Amino acid sequence: MTPEVLLAAEEKMNPLLPAWPEVIIGLLCFFIVFGLLGKKLLPSIEKVLEERRDAIEGGMKRAETAQAEAQALLEQYRAELAEARHEAARITEHAREQGAVLIAEMREEGQRQREAIVAAGHAQIDADKKQATAALRQDVGSLASQLASRIVGESLEDHARQSGVIDRFLDELESKAAAAQGAAK
């Protein structure tokens, strides 16, 4: 290659002047890249990035909700527990009161029964005493009169007189006993 040709070639080539075929090819290439990335690839990745952001934020939100729910549930359980404790205390108190009333009632009933039994006993004793007294009075009368008839040897036939004597004697005895009792007191 002669220097002239080389010089001519160098003159022809100015690095600051774009060659149009290259510009066109370059632009074509750029628009192929831009077209595919802009129309298909970047929207598709953008969608996935959005989904991922959603998933992460949604997960965090879900966790927050779950925690709030758990907190609410805990509060509720605590409240219910407190309520139950209160209820139990109330029931115990009530039972205690009822028990006390029941005991008092039973005590009263017992007292009453005891009194009734005692009263019945007294009445029985009185009746027995009366009966015994009457029987004794009769027996003592007849015995005494038998004894007296035997001693005196005469039959005290006259019933009216007989009973009057015996009764008088017995009354005397009773009054004596009463007097003795009063003196002892």
Partner 1 sequence: MGADVQLASEAGCHFDSGCGFPAPGLNEFDFKPIFTVGGVDFNKPMLLSIICALLVVGFFWAAFAKPKLLPGKLQLVGEIGYDFVKRSIVLETIGKKGEKYVPMLVSMFFFVWIMNIMSIIPFAQFPVASKIAFPAGLALVVWITYMSLTFKKHGFVGGMKNLCWPSGIPGWVMFILVPIEFFSNIFVRPFTLAVRAFANMFAGHLLIVVFSVASWYLLSPTIGALYGSVSFVVAVGLTAFELLVQFLQAYIFVMLASSYIAGALEEAH
Binding positions for partner 1, rule: CB under 8 A: 1, 6, 9-10, 13, 15-27, 29-30, 32-34, 36-38, 40-42, 44-45, 47-49, 51-52, 55
Toward partner 1, which CB reaches closer, 42 or 100? 42
Q: Shortest gap between Cβ of 67 and partner 1 (angstroms)?
A: 24
Least distance to partner 1 from the beta carbon of 43, Å?
Answer: 8
| DSSP type of residue 15 | T
Give the single-character DSSP code of 154: S
Q: At its nearest, how many Å lie between partner 1 and the CB of residue 14?
A: 9
- Of 29 and 125, the one with the shorter C-beta distance to partner 1 is 29
| Mutual angle of helices 159-184 and 42-152, in 10-degree steps | 120
Nearer to partner 1, 48 or 101 (CB): 48
- Residue 12 or residue 185: which is nearer to partner 1 going by CB? 12
What are the tokens at 47? 């969608």
Q: Residues 166, 141: contact at Cβ < 8 Å?
A: yes
Alpha-carbon gap, residue 143 to 165, rounded angstroms = 13
- Of 124, 147, 139, 146, nearest to 170 (Cα)? 139
